[in-house]
Every structure is written in C-alpha cells, then in structure tokens.
Structure 1
Amino acid sequence: MRKILLSVILLCAFSGVFAQDKSKKPIRKIGEKLGLVESQDSTNRKGPKSPNDKAVAKITDYLIISKENDTTFVDTTLTIKKEYKFNYLRKDNFELVPFSNLGQTYNSLSYNFESTKLMPSFGARARHFNYMEIEDINYYRVPTPLTELFYKTAFEQGQLLDAFFTVNTSPQFNFSVAYKGLRSLGKYQHILTSTGNFRVTTNYNSKNKRYFLRTHIVTQDLLNQENGGLQDSNVPYFETGDPEFLDRSILAVNFENAESILKGKRFYLDHTYNIIRKKDTTSSNKLSFRHIMSFEDKYYQYDQTTASDYFGDAFKNSKLKDRVSLENFYNQVQLDYSNDLLGDLQFNVSSDNYNYGYDKLVVLNGNTIVNRLKGDIYSAGGSYHKQYRGFDLKGEMGINVTGDFDGNFIKGTASFKLNDDMSAMASINHSSKAPNYNFLLYQSEYINYNWRNNFNNTETEQLAFHLKSNKIANLSVDYSTITDYAYFKRDQTDNQIKAFQNSATITYLRVKLEREIRFGKFALNNTVLYQNVQDQNNTINVPELTTRNTLYFSSNVFNKAMYLQTGVTFSYFTAYYMNAYDPLLAEFYVQNEREYGNFPRLDFFINTKIRQTRIYLKAEHFNSAWTGYNYYSAPNYPYRDFTVRFGLVWNFFM
C-alpha cells in the first residue's frame, strides 16, 4: 500500500506542477481554455497547447506505440468495450473466468494455438495472467504531459490502483513511469492477494530520423495466499445455499498456511539505425540495422509452514519452500531492407542464453534428478511484407540452429479491404516448440512433485480466417491440429498431479461472432463463441458454447454535461469438464470426473463520463442468490457472489 500511496502522491505532484493556473477563472473556463471539450467523440477533442508548439494539441497527437510499432492514440470515450476492459487485467476477459478474489488466477474457457515462439516458457502459467510480458509494454509520444489514474475497489480491505504518467521532454525524447498495485483480502479464508507491476519506458529518435531507441524496465511481484479450495466436506454447504454459510469465511478450506509469489525484473532495449533512408517520396530504397536485447530474471516460490496431506508425502514436515528461477539473456540483430517494388525484407539471427532450475539436487528412489537446464540457443529467421493489388501480404519464419531445444515456426497472413466497411484476413501458422520448462524439470519438497521428462516438441498447425464489418458483424474462425500436447493430470497410481504428453493428434475448431444491434439510444452487444474439440484422450476440455450479451442505454444528459451508459450483461458457458487448479504448481490440470458451468451471470452497470473522467459502478452477479449455488471458477473454488464495486479512469492533459 505504501507503493500505491507514493505513486498517487508523485503523480498528483506532477499534475500540480504542470497544471497550475494562477487565474481566478471558474473551472469551466479553465477547462475551455485547455480545450477539454465534453464531446463523447475523443477524436474531435482538442487538447492543451503544446510547450514545443504553440498550436493547440489534438487528442490524436497523444500517441501509444506498441512493440510491433502499431500506433494508436489516447481514447477518452466511454464505450461498451471500455466497460469490458474495466477489470484487473485491463483487457477484455470474455474467454476467462476469474477466481473469487481479485488478483488470483483465471480459468481459461478457450485456447489459441497460434505461436511464433522458439523457446519453452517459464512454468507457473496460472500466475502469469497479470505478468506483463515484452509485448504488453507500450511506448508514447505526447505534445504535453499526460497522466492517467485507474482505480477500482477490491474484495475486503483493499484497493486496485494503476497510475501512469508520461511526458516528452523534447519532440525527440519521451519518458513514462507507471505502477499498478493491488491488495485484496477476499471473502474466503486465506486468499489475500498483493501484487505490484512497476514499469518505466523511454522512446527516442534523433533529429535527422536516422536513430530510434525504445527501452523499458519492468519489475513485478505477484503474491497470493493459497488455501487449496474448499474441503470436499464443505462443498455441499456452499451448493445448498445454507444461510449459515453465506458468510464465506466460515467455510473450511484445505489448508491455511501457504503462499506463492512470482517475481520478475526485465530490461529491454530495441534500437534501429537507418543506413539508407527515404528522404522523400521519390526515394525507393531503405536499409536499416536493428538490435534487440532483453535480460529477464524471474522466480516462482511456494512456501508452506507445515506439510499438507493434500499434496501427499513430503521430505520434511515443516518450513517447506519450493523455488525455481529462470535467467534469460536474449540478443537479436536484424537487417531490414525496403524497396517500393520488392516490398519489405528482414533477416535476423539471435541468441538465447537460458538458466532454469533449482539450487539443490533431489535423490528419488536412488536416482538423482538434475537441478538445472541451461545452455545457449542460436536461431535464424526473417520476415516479408508487401502490398500487392489491394492485398496486404506478410510472412515470417524462425528456426533454432544449434542448442538443446529444437524449434521452428512459419506464419503467413493475407488481408484485403473489400470496401470502406469490410475487411478480411486469412492466416496459416505452423509451430514446433518444446513444452514449458516445468513439464521438463520440476523439484519440490513434496515427493511426488519431482520429475525430469524428455518430452517431444509440441507440434501445432493453425488455419484462421477473420472478417470485420461494423455494419454486419465480426467473424473469426480458426482450426488447429495439435500433436504431442503436454498437460498436467492426476496420476491414477498415486493420485498426485504429474506431467503427461498426449501423442495422439487433437483437432480444435473455434468460431467467434461479434455483433452489435442498435435501435435509437439502446444497443444489444453480442459475443458468441462456439468450440469443438476432437481428442480421444480428453486432454483439452472447453465449453461448447460461450456467450456474452449486453443490453444497454447510452445518451448525453444534463445538457450534455455528462454522458451516461447503463445496462445489463448476461454471461454464460455450457457445462464441461473444467480444469482444476493446483496451487503448488500454480498450474491448471485436466480432470474428467465432474462437469462445471451451465450457470448464468448477470451484471448491472451504470457508467458515466464527465469531461475526461469515466466513472464505473457495477452490481456483479446480482442473480447469485436465486439461480442456484452451482457457480465455480474451478473445482472446489467457487466463483464470486453478488457484490457492488466502484471505480474510475481519470485522464489529465496538462
């Protein structure tokens, strides 16, 4: 909480410095002077005067730049998509089911097997939903200082805050700093969460437009108390809706003496030098050299004061600590060549130095399990981009040339704009990659959680098609085949969770339809996902149908002083064999014993926009008391009960 308060104080101080106005004019006149009009269309809103340019800055001048150089601008409108993204992840979580407490993990209702990675990923994937990867970090260019404050209430004794500030000290150099912090006690016993994501970015280009640099530093710590879910004996107390147990803290959990934490720090550098640049529209060639470097050090640790029978026998009975770490140093150099006739060509070579594992050896049944996987991987790859007769063609590939991990991928996309409203895209992707590190090597104080596996690469192929139209609908279809899929499941011999690999070929079809129907000031926003899996071993389980439908009203009120949006969201997914959660591994595992789902969720919301402030009020799952207590996020982990939560997003243009 001290980090959160410090972030607020610093950002308010910055806001005060840049927003001082010595005049005694009323607030409305000051707002008009700054150009902060109240139009719901942010693209037409004018911003304050830029210190570098006496012209009035437009909202479209506040740029947000992704890792892939895709550029958007700050959007202060209030839309239904903003409602869907007003959550802990700040992303649309349509395909996820959150656990009861904010900051816990999410169960996945769908999977995307498109991949362009060559290396295995760190384990503890259930703790990575809020772990900010390289592609999650944006860079900025703003004419005046910009601040954003995101706030939302949590569950019992806690708050969520995401504070962000960016400024261009000159037209060439941008700096940003942000911190997202959360503390939430939760409704059940021993599920406190405390998380923090701190990030700093810089974005620079030389005056002659030859040299470009982007870099970021990110430190993250995500802590959860773990309780193993409800005891089997207490599940009926929850499902019958016994009034005595509506106070969820009374329900007995499997243990109350464990916690897990995922910590990581990363330095990232991406810089480019234009050897030959296009000086004007008559130039046809461009040649540039690019270097990308990242160093990341992260670890996952599980602590428990005394051993629990929940995980089986242990080597010792008290002060158990499992800790696994990964150090990864990545370098890539690439040469980019652009020609108006040939298109854009890129060639690259890269190296990965990895060091994954544990600090001690484990001897099990007379066999010593190695404690480290480390080495160097050298890779090569390239990409191509060309616009030809209305088609936008892209392709990329990569392959591990030397090292202990084989891997390769190839991806091609073709997009075409049919008219001003409709566009289509088709893609094909092949990937071969080693399973994640914790499938290959795992060590624990619990005896059955120790293994060293020599698994095959997981092979995936995917065909995908996307059609986008504001007037008709957005349609996405993808078809994947997966071979040698790695998964966790309870071993029938000792009843403990272990890593397995499915040698059979799995086929997986997804069809997603998005359509909004408008009638006056009312609208019905619909998202429907259909899935079909053919898997003889039942290792990928997903609901056949997932839907979200929002009926809402939106309009300017109070003489356009406020924009109002209010409505009801209905969410539902069909029953299926939902994956169970293992808190020791911080992974979900396959279970085929009981189906979960088939429960509706109704949320009522009232959202308003006053100038650049969006205020959100929501009654979540208000139907929980009268549609049955059969709602779960995972087996033995109930979904959230009815609750009312409040929050806001506030932008300052100084």
Structure 2
Amino acid sequence: MAPGFDAGFHSYDVYGFNHQNAKFYNTNRPFSELWYLIGAKQEQMINLQHTQNRGEKFNFSFQYRKINSPGFFQNQATNHDNYNVTANYNSQDKRYHLYFSYYLNKINGGENGGLQNNADLKDPEYSDPRLIPVRLGGNNPRLGGLLNTNIPVKSYNQEASILVRQQYDWGHGDTVHVNDTTEYYKFDPVFRVEHTLTYTENTYRYQDAEPDSLYYRTFYNLNIPLNNPDTIRTRHRWRIFSNDISLMQFPMRGNQAHFIRVGAAFEMIKGQFDTSLAVRSFNEVSFTNLRLHGEYRNKTRNQKWDIQAKGDLYPIGENAGDYAVSGRLSSHLNETLGRISLMASNVNREPSYVYRYFGTRNKQIWTNNDLNKENITQIQVRADNKKLKYSLTANYFLYTNYTYFKSFTESAQSSGLFNLLQLVAYKRFDVGGFTFDGDAAFQQIAGTAPVQLPTVWARLRVAYTAKLFKNLNLYTGLEGKYNTPYYADDYSPMLSQFFYQDVLQINNKPEVAAFVHFRIKSLSAYVRGENLNSLVWDNNFVSPLYPANNFGIRVGLRWWFVN
C-alpha cells in the first residue's frame, strides 16, 4: 500500500535492514549486545551491535547479523550477511541536526523448487529428508556449514542504501537550572527546514549454473537447448536517487509531536536486466518521478488524543497519478476502556515492475504492459486495553485491479472489485503463576478474487512464569498454532514470488512447540523444541511441494552490557 516506483521483490524483506527501522542513539556510556542462535542441521545466527557517543554531540552505532542454515531438505541452504551503520550529530545550540544511515543486505537463499513428489515423505527409503529428490539443484544431500556458502541454485538479493538527512531549526532556547550546580540548554523549534538525500542500489538475481533442461521444461514450461543448456540467470538491477526538501512548523512550543510538514522529492530511477538480446529496450530503462507530500500530526501532551493525516501525490513522471491519503484518530479513554483508534487509507499505485517484465539470459522474455493502476482502500477500527489485557482489530479492504502472478512466469490483473473483512483478537489471562494468551483471526473475501486465505487462524500459549533464586526470571510452556484448510499460494523460484493456485489445498495439523525462556541480569536465553507435531503426524506444508521442517531444537542467547 505504497505509491510510486517499486521493484517488487519482497520475499526476503523480513531478514534485512532498512532506513525505516534504523535506530539513532544518544548514550552516556558505550553499549553493546551479542546474540547467538544455534538450531538443528547446523543452523546458526550471530548478531553483534555496538553504539557509543563521541563527545556530547555525536553518536554512532554498528550492527552486523549473520544467518546461515543448510536446511532440512536438499538444496535449501541460506546464507545472509546484513550490515547497518547509523550516526547522528546535534550542534551545540541544538539548531542543526545531521542523521546518517547506511545498510547492506546480502541475501543468498537456496532454491530447490520443492519436492518432486510429496509421497516421498512417507517412503522408508528416504528416512533422512536430505535424500528426498527435489526439482532443482540435482542430488546434493550435503549439509555445509557456517563458512561453506556453496549454494547450487539460489536467489541472490543485494541491497545497499545511504541516507543523509539534515535539519535546521528556528525557535526559542532557554537555559534550564536544575540546581545550583547543574543546568542544561533547552531548545524548542518553531520552524524547520529538512533536506534528505537517498541513494539505493538493488540487485535481484536467480541463478542455476547446471540446469536440468528436462526439469525446466516439465515443471516450468521453460525451454532450454539440450546441447547447450548454459546457465539460467535472471537479474533486475535498480539504482534509485531521491532528493527531498521539506518544511515543518511546530504550532505548540515544546510539543514536537504537533507539526505540519509539506515537501517535494525528485527521483531518478535506472534499471538494468540480464538478457542476451541485443535490444536496448529489454536491457535498460530509466525514468524520473516528482513526489509531493504533506502531513499533519497533533499528539496532545497528556497523550489523550492523537490525530494524523498524510498525503503523497505523483503529479508527473513514470508514476504520474499515483497517490496515497490516510487519516488516523486515536484516543485514550480511560484505564477501564483503554485506547481506541480509527484509520482510513486509500492508495492508487502503478503495479510493481516485476509484474511488467521478466527475462533470462537464455532469450526467454515475458512482458505484460496491459496493467492498470491498482486501487486499495483500508478502513480499520482498533481497541487496546492494558488493564483487561486484550486488543481487538477490524480491517476492511476494498481492492480494484489487484495484480498477481498466475503461474511461474506470468502475471495477471483482476479487473473486478472485491473486498476482504478481517477480525483479529488477542487476550491474556493470568491465573496464579500461569499465563494463557492467544491470538485468533477471522478472514472473509467477498467477490471474485485471485486471493486465497485461511478463514480462521489462531495461536495459543500456555506458560508458567516465576522469579526464582532472586535473579532468575523464568517463562516456560507450550505454544500451538493452527489455520483452517486453504489453497496456499505456490512459489516461483526464478521470480522469488508466490503465485495464485486453486488445485492443491493445504490441510495442516496444529503446529506445536515447547519453550523455556529465562533471564539472569543482563543475560537472556531460550530453548525451543519446534514442530513437535511432526513426531506424531506427517509434515505440515507451507506451500504446495514445500513441507515444513521436522522436529528440531533451537537455543538462543542474548547478552548486553554497558562498558
């Protein structure tokens, strides 16, 4: 639900850093964190984070994350490296502010195409799931390790981006005397000029160095020369430069959550594709966009009311006509009734570019230039209550020109109008030392829609919590998850996209895990036994031909300290 240019590759977003979740710190002492996870089949995750001030006005932080897992099945290895650096500077008079954010995500995900035959899961010949034949990558049952990054068939996503934001404020400053010996300088902005430069390079690539032409023709309807199969490779590479200027006014002195912002951004976008065709129109594109944006925010000091209205419009450029408008009103009624919020949003957007073009270096080209703009409306009502420990959310979505993939390589667009109603609830009960908490949702689609969703999904945790031996905080129990049967989307390895299917219904048993969480001062840890259900029933499936993991144990540690 975002207007403007979008490349369309989001299946690995949850594993990467971005500017939206970048953190800026101000610390009086250096602070560090270390996370480590080890799981079944040599799965490992390492996370290192450090931040410290250099003087009173400058701070920097660094974070590195490594995720490596050979997987439970053949050719399922993943190897991710993520880097994030932030810095911020405030001038002595607190009028000038500088923010810097950089991230680099290197995502390598193994693509095995799923099992050749689901029945092999029950075949005694394949007691080890690493021996079950898969569609891509050949017979490759080796496990690998943290330093072994050889992945036969993979999706390679690399994204690097730099953001530099400068702000200069006009307003009122005062010296505040805390006592006879302590004082500090307080500055309340009234008007702000903000300038933001962003440069991003994204590369999305699929590669199979030793493709089996029979498998590609049988499973994906992709013809590869038998005498010279070569490497199957697809690539979308994008370079995006954005230059944004904004003006802000703060009507109420001392309340920076009450402001009016208007601005404009100019974007230059260039894309390159990996094809062997000597046709420039298929190898490279470039275009520009102009985006106008505005925002009004009023969050009262007593936290009773919060009003927000935002708007974005693309008047000219490649995405001319795209827009997004939204409004939110929330209020804290009282401790008994809690907080309630109302939200409405409407987005008109050009479909992501991945729906318009797909090509390989083997001279396979698919294009779809008959796509209209998508329009999505969302209305939400939400109630949160800390005292009674519950939350309720009702979402209503209205879709027009919904764009989707209908096969491994082809996109399509639904011309009809359909809507989705979603009701989500959370509730927690505490009985003595035991805690019961659960989520549940009901989802219903009205109208003809190329979207499949489970009607009901739910999660329930039953746990015992206690404080032992003065410093030991314990939380241990069972967790179960379940959703009703539905036609889960299939997956296209070459595009790294999920696509609509209505042939194979996924009918899973409840998924069960046992856990022990504990914390001792600045050390927290957990042990999880996951997929206990696979010890009793057959493997659940997350998508056609893609079974969930077998039973496995994960152990995680987190240690933080102030130097």
Give the TM-score normalised by structure 1: 0.76
Aligned-partner residue type, residue 479 of structure 1: Y
Contact 1:162–1:178 (CA<8 Å) still a contact in 2?
yes
Match of 2:180 in 1: none
What amino acid maps onto 1:218 in structure 2? Y
Aligned residues: 524
Q: Is this contact kept in 2: 1:449–1:498, CA < 8 A?
A: no
2:313 to 390, 396, 399: 399
Which residue identity is paired with 2:55? S
Q: 1:156 aligns with which of 41, 53, 56?
A: 41
Q: State yes or no: 1:170 paired with 2:86.
A: no
Name the residue aligned to 2:395.
478
CA deviation after TM superposition for structure 1 residue 356, in Å: 1.9
Superposed CA deviations along residues 393-425 of structure 1, whole A, max 9, x for unmatched, are 110101002112121111111111101351111
1:242 positional shift: 4.0
Q: Secondary structure at the match of 1:126?
A: coil
SS in 1 for 2:42: coil
CA contact (8 A) 1:442 1:452 kept: no
Structure 1 position 129, deviation (Å): 2.7
Which runs of no fewer than 5 residues in structure 2 stay unpaired?
A: 138-151, 177-185
In 2: Cα distance, 1:592 partner to 1:120 partner: 30
Three-state SS of the structure 1 residue aligned to 2:51 is strand
> Is 1:209 matched up with 2:119?
no
Aligned-partner SS, 2:104: strand
Q: Please list, as runs of the form range in 1=range in 2, the aligned pairs for 1:190-589 lying within 5 A after superposition.
A: 190-232=75-117, 235-238=118-121, 241-256=122-137, 257-277=152-172, 279=174, 286-305=190-209, 306=211, 307=213, 308-309=216-217, 310-311=219-220, 312-314=222-224, 317-340=229-252, 344-360=259-275, 362=277, 370-387=282-299, 390-406=304-320, 407-420=322-335, 422-445=338-361, 449-472=365-388, 473-490=390-407, 497-536=409-448, 538-558=449-469, 560-589=470-499
Would you say the 8 A contact 1:424–1:468 is kept in 2?
yes
CA distance change for structure 1 residues 132 and 285 in 2, over 3 Å: closer, same or farther?
closer
Give, in angstroms, the shift of residue 392 of structure 1.
1.9
Question: For residues 131 and 271 of structure 1, what CA distance do their matches in structure 2 show?
Answer: 25
Kindly indicate whether the alpha-carbon contact (under 8 Å) linking 1:379 and 1:400 is maintained by their aligned counterparts in 2. Answer: yes
Contact 2:17 2:104 in 1 (8 A): no
Residue matched to 1:10: none
- Cα deviations by residue, 1:104-137 (Å, 9 ceiling, x for unpaired): xxxxxxxxxxx3x321322332233313222122
Structure 1 CA distance, aligned partners of 2:188 and 2:510?
A: 58
Matches within 5 A, 1:8-19: none
CA RMSD of aligned residues (A): 2.3
CA distance in 2, matches of 1:430, 1:278: 40
Distance 1:512 1:629 in 2: 29
Aligned letter for 2:297? H
Q: Secondary structure at the match of 2:205?
A: strand
Residue of structure 2 in register with 1:644 after alignment = 553
Provide the rounded CA distance (Å) in 1 between the counterparts of 2:268 and 2:22: 22
Mapped partners of 2:104, 2:433: distance in 1:
44
Sort the Cα spacing of 1:335 and 1:643 in 2 relative to 1 into closer, same or farther, 3 A.
same
Given that 2:103 and 2:162 are in contact with CA atoms closer than 8 Å, whether structure 1 keeps it comes out as yes
Q: 1:619 to 1:424 in 2, by over 3 A?
A: same
Identity among equivalent positions (%) equals 22
Q: Give the Cα–Cα distance (whole angstroms) in 2 for the partners of residues 183 and 459 of structure 1.
A: 39
Report Cα offsets for 1:152-176 as digits up to 9, x if no partner: 1144234111110111122221111
Kindly indicate which of the two structures has a greater share of residues assigned to strand.
2
Q: Per the alignment, do residues 352 and 521 of structure 1 end up closer, same or farther by CA in structure 2, a change over 3 Å counting? A: same
* Consecutive unaligned residues in structure 1, runs of 5 or more: 1-114, 491-495
The structure-2 alpha-carbon separation of the partners of 1:368 and 1:201, relative to structure 1 and needing over 3 Å to count, comes to closer
Matched residue, 1:43: none
Aligned AA for 1:486? T
Q: Taking structure 2 as the reference length, what is the TM-score of the superposition?
A: 0.88
Asked if 2 retains the 8 angstrom alpha-carbon contact of 1:612 and 1:652, the reply is: yes
The amino acid of 1:394's aligned partner reads Q
Distance 1:344 1:442 in 2: 44
User: Are 1:198 and 1:220, in contact at CA under 8 Å, matched by a contact in 2?
Assistant: yes
Equivalence for 2:140: none
Is residue 292–residue 312 contact of structure 2 (8 Å, CA) maintained in 1? Answer: yes
Structure 2 counterpart of 1:138: 23
Q: Conserved in 2, the CA contact under 8 Å of 1:313 and 1:447?
A: no
Shift of 1:653: 1.6
Residue of structure 1 equivalent to 2:520: 610
SS at match of 1:623: helix
Does structure 1 retain, via aligned residues, the 8 Å contact 2:344–2:379? yes
Contact 2:163 2:198 in 1 (8 A): yes
Cα contact 1:183–1:195 (8 A) shared by 2 = yes
Q: Could you tell me how far 1:446 is from its partner in structure 2? A: 5.6
Residue 251 to residue 607, structure 1, CA distance change in 2 (3 Å) = same
357 and 386 in structure 1: CA distance in 2 versus 1, 3 angstrom threshold: same
* 8 A contact 1:189–1:249 mirrored in 2: yes
Equivalent position SS for 1:139: coil
Give, in angstroms, the shift of residue 598 of structure 1. 3.3
Distance in structure 1 (CA, Å) of the matches to 2:197 and 2:75: 40
Aligned-pair CA distance for 1:271: 2.0
Provide closer, same or farther for how the CA distance between residues 253 and 360 of structure 1 changes in structure 2, counting only shifts above 3 A.
closer
Contact 1:362–1:443, Cα closer than 8 Å, also in 2: no
Structure 2 Cα separation of the partners of residues 644 and 179 of structure 1: 24
CA contact (8 A) 2:274 2:359 kept: no
**2: CA distance between counterparts of 1:564 and 1:296?**
44
Q: Which amino acid aligns with 2:540?
A: Y
Q: 1:638 to 1:387 in 2, by over 3 A?
A: closer
Counterpart residue number, 1:110: none
